Amino acid sequence: MTQTVEGNIETQTKGEAQEIKTTPPFYSGDYVECRGWRGKLEDAENPFGESGKERLVLRDCYGIGYFHDPVSDLVYASPRMTQESLIQAYQEPGAHLDTREFKNFNRSDWESKRDRTFVVSNLKVQLAKQYLKIGDSIIDVGCHVGFFVMLAREAGYECDGIDVSLDSVRVGVEDLNIQGLRATTIEDAAIADCSYHAVVIWDVLEHVYNLSDVMNHCKRILKPGGYFFAHVPNHRGLSNRLKTLRSKLGFRNGEYHCFGFPWHLYNFSPKSLRVLVESVGMQPIRTASFSHRSKNGKDNTGFLGNINKGIEGRALSDNLYIVARKAE
């Protein structure tokens, strides 16, 4: 069996990889039990279309393969959860959210203590301000409990949010009193064409079953000249490269935590994110990162701050964002 090396990624062809598929006790045929969750599996293909150059990065202890396409620079999981299994997992009560922590939510404490959710939501608002006018309309696709929607409305934008999780939307509406939230998907939301000046889809694209469908809906509901803001995991991030190497060398007991399976189906890079937005006819404007330091509310002054700015500007953090625009 031949092997090739792409940078720091030792690889095998996808056909060769299928021949050595492992079957641990918790992996059986079409089902996998992974981190306390059990679901049905199916083979997955490259969402950009088979390039013929896909290579296996590694196969984890659950029998899941992680393939890298050097043409688009996307990493994707195969096999992966079926669409039905994914929806069931996200809609299961308590699966992703402890609703009790929001029962006594204090808006002032949340902001004054610089909770990470406040900091990140505020970073998103500040990013939007660089491209949008006050009063513009925004939809947050995958809004979780609606923190960004709340801050965007306070900043003067007309902002709505949708999320597949019934728990998340219920918390946002009933416990946090946030307006404009709905429990639905972008495919089922029945949003009219050209409805919004901006689409924000933060930490969502890595989860979606059909990237092409979701991206086409995002473009469809944007007004001409509207902006698209997306945030995803970055396999080219410095820390993620090290974590991948450690997993390949066997230091993670066969786990590949930094990919995020079963919830994550893809891991992006600046190149693959640009390829994605261009595939639906939008124009990339900017790719960059918010580092863990920035998300934790640390300032970017001094020596460490300058290093941090360099990492963010070159999109070398473990996540990255893109700003793109729909044609006028």
**pLDDT tens by residue, 10-50:** 334 444 433 333 334 344 457 777 766 778 889 999 999 99
Output the pLDDT for position 191.
97
pLDDT at residue 7 tops 50: no
Cβ(286)–Cβ(322) below 8 Å = yes
> Is 86 inside a domain boundary?
no
Domain membership flag for residue 92? no
* Judgement on whether residues 157 and 77 belong to the same structural domain of the protein: no
- Residue 305's domain is classified under what CATH number? 3.40.50.150
297 & 163 share domain: yes
Q: Is residue 14 part of a domain?
A: yes
Same domain, 259 and 277: no
Do residue 260 and residue 292 come from a single domain? no
pLDDT of residue 59: 92
| pLDDT score of 130 | 98
- The answer to whether residues 178 and 145 belong to one domain is yes
Q: What pLDDT is stored for residue 25 in this prediction?
A: 37
Look up residue 208 and give its amino acid: V
Q: Left if phi > 0, otherwise alpha if psi is -120 to 50, otherwise beta: which for 73?
A: left
Domain boundary among 221, 248, 268: 268
Instruction: Evaluate whether residue 30 is within a structural domain.
Output: yes
List of residues 6+ apart from 158 with CB closer than 8 A: 135, 136, 137, 138
Task: For residue 137, tell me if it sits in a domain.
Answer: yes
Domain C-terminal end among 224, 251, 268: 268
Quote the number of domains for the chain. 2
Residues 194 and 222 in one domain: yes
Does one domain contain both 39 and 181?
A: no
**Is the same domain home to 136 and 284?**
yes
Q: Is 251 inside any structural domain?
A: yes
Q: Is 227 exposed, middle or buried (0-12, 13-18, 19+ CB in 10 A)?
A: buried
By the 8 A CB rule, do 145 and 102 touch? yes
% of the chain at pLDDT higher than 90: 61
Higher-pLDDT residue of 299, 118:
118
Are 148 and 290 members of one domain?
yes
Residues 185 and 247 in one domain: no
Structural domain that includes position 176: 99-234+269-325
Structure tokens at 36: 């306390």
Q: What is the pLDDT of residues 134-152, one digit of tens each?
A: 999 999 999 999 999 999 9
Same domain, 147 and 290: yes
> What distances in angstroms separate CA 103 from CA 28, 100, 173, one per listed residue?
40, 5, 12
Q: Is the model's pLDDT at 172 over the cut of 80?
A: yes
pTM of the model: 0.88
* 111 and 71 in a common domain: no
Identify whether 94 is part of a domain. Answer: no
Please write the tens of the pLDDT for every residue from 58-86.
Answer: 998 888 999 999 999 999 999 998 998 88
Q: Is residue 91 part of a domain?
A: no
146: alpha, beta or left, given left = phi > 0 and alpha = psi -120 to 50?
left
Mean pLDDT confidence for 229-240: 95
Final residue of a structural domain among 220, 251, 268:
268
